[in-house]
Amino acid sequence: MKAVRMYDVKDLRVEEVPKPSPKADEVLLKIHAVGVCGSDIPRALIKGPHVLPITLGHEFAGEIVELGSDVKDWALGDRVAVAPLLPDYNDPWSKKGIYSLSEGYMYYGSRNDGAFAEYLSVKALNLIKLGDNVPYDWGATIDPAANAVHACLRADLTEMDSVAVYGMGAIGLFAVQYAKAKGVKTIIAVDIDDRKLEIAKQSGATTTINSKEIDPVEAILKVTDNQGIDVSLEMSGTEICQIQAVQASAKMGRVVYLGISNSSLTFPKEAVDKILRYQVSVMGSWNSFSDPFPGIEWTESAELMDKGLMNPEMFITQKLTLDDVPDTFKKIDKKELYFIKIMFYPSTQDS
C-alpha cells in the first residue's frame, strides 16, 4: 500500500509499505479521509514525533474492510471515525475515566503509525460510527470537534451563558457551532483574519471581532452592556488572547485555555485583580476523552454532524491526495499556504 513515512524533521516520503493485518481486537480500515491537525505541523517541521520513522495522521475516517477474530460489534463496510488515543487502562487516571491525563498511553499518528496511508489497523474500541449524513471527510474532523466540545464541557456551558471564542481555527469554529447548537444567544468570535471571521459568522457567531483592528475587551464589554462574558474559550494559545479572555470576563466567569502556548504568560495586575474580584475561574482543557471511552465528546459530535448542526464543509480549505503530503508541508513551512483544515484522501476517488 501507499503511505507517507516521516524519517526526520521535514523529511516526509511517499512510499510503498506492507499492508497491515488486524490483530484480534482490531479492524483494518481503508482510509478515506485524513486531516492535518495543528499539532502535526510542529511535529513534522520543528520538533519531530516521539518515534521515527513513523506515519503521521490522527484525524481520520474510513471503511472497515477486515475484522479481527475477537471483534463482534462491527461489520465489513461500516463507516467509522477513529479516536486516536490508546489509553493505558491500568493508569490511575484511566481508571477514573479521565483518559487524557493517563501517562502510559499510545497515540495513532504520534507514537504509533497513523493514517497518512491507504490502510491502517485500529482498535475496535476506538471506533465511532458515522451517520448516513456524515461524509468521510466530516468524520475525519470529529477529533477537533470533540476537542471543542470537551472545552465547552469543562466550562459547564449552558444556553443561559454568553460565550467568546478566541481563535477561529477548526476547533474554534466547531466551538462556535456547538454553542449555537446548544442554544447560546450571544456568541462572539475573535480572530485577526476577516476570512475566518466570515466563516465564524456563517457558523453561528452573533458578533465577530477583528482584534487586529479593535480592542476585543472593549468590544466585548460593549456587546454585553459592560457585564463581560460568561465563558471565554481561548483556542489560539497566544499570550495577548489569554490575557484578554480574563479581562473580558463577567463576574463568576469561566475561562478555558485550550490553545497550546509556545511562550510564557505573565498576567498584568489588572488581569489578576479581575480574577480575584470577579471570582473568575481559569482552567485548562486537554484533548477530548471521557468515560465511557472515547466519551460523549465524540458521540455527541458525531450526532450533531449527522443532524447538520456541526458542519466542517465551510472550513475544509484544501482537498488533496497522499502524493501531495510532502509538498503541502513544505508550503506550510514556507508560509505559502492559507488554510484552516487541510484534508487528504488516500482513496483518490473520494477527493
SS3 44: helix
Does residue 351 register a pLDDT over 60? Answer: no
Residue type, 56: L
Distance CA 239, CA 340 (A): 21
Radius of gyration of the chain (CA): 20
Per-residue burial over 164-178, b = 16 or more CB atoms within 10 Å of its CB, e = otherwise:
bbbbbbbbbbbbbbb
| Helix (H), strand (E), coil (C) string for 267-309 | CCHHHHHHHHHCCCEEEECCCCCCCCCCCHHHHHHHHHHHCCC
Please say whether the beta carbons of 188 and 205 come within 8 A: yes
Per-residue burial over 79-107, b = 16 or more CB atoms within 10 Å of its CB, e = otherwise:
bbbbbbbbbeeebeebeeebbbebeebeb
pLDDT at 348: 63
Distance CA 341, CA 332 (A): 12
Distance CA 306, CA 172 (A): 20
Residue type, 145: A
Per-residue burial over 58-67, b = 16 or more CB atoms within 10 Å of its CB, e = otherwise:
bbbbbbbebb
- Residue-wise pLDDT for 113-125, tens only, equals 999 999 999 999 9
- Residue-wise pLDDT for 73-107, tens only, equals 999 999 999 999 999 999 999 999 999 999 989 99
- Residue-wise pLDDT for 273-317, tens only, equals 999 999 999 999 999 999 999 999 999 999 999 999 999 999 999
The DSSP symbol for 190 reads E
Backbone angles phi, psi at 117, to 5 degrees: -160, 165
Q: What is the pTM of this model?
A: 0.96
Distance CA 286, CA 221 (A): 28
Cis peptide before 294 (omega within 30 of 0): yes
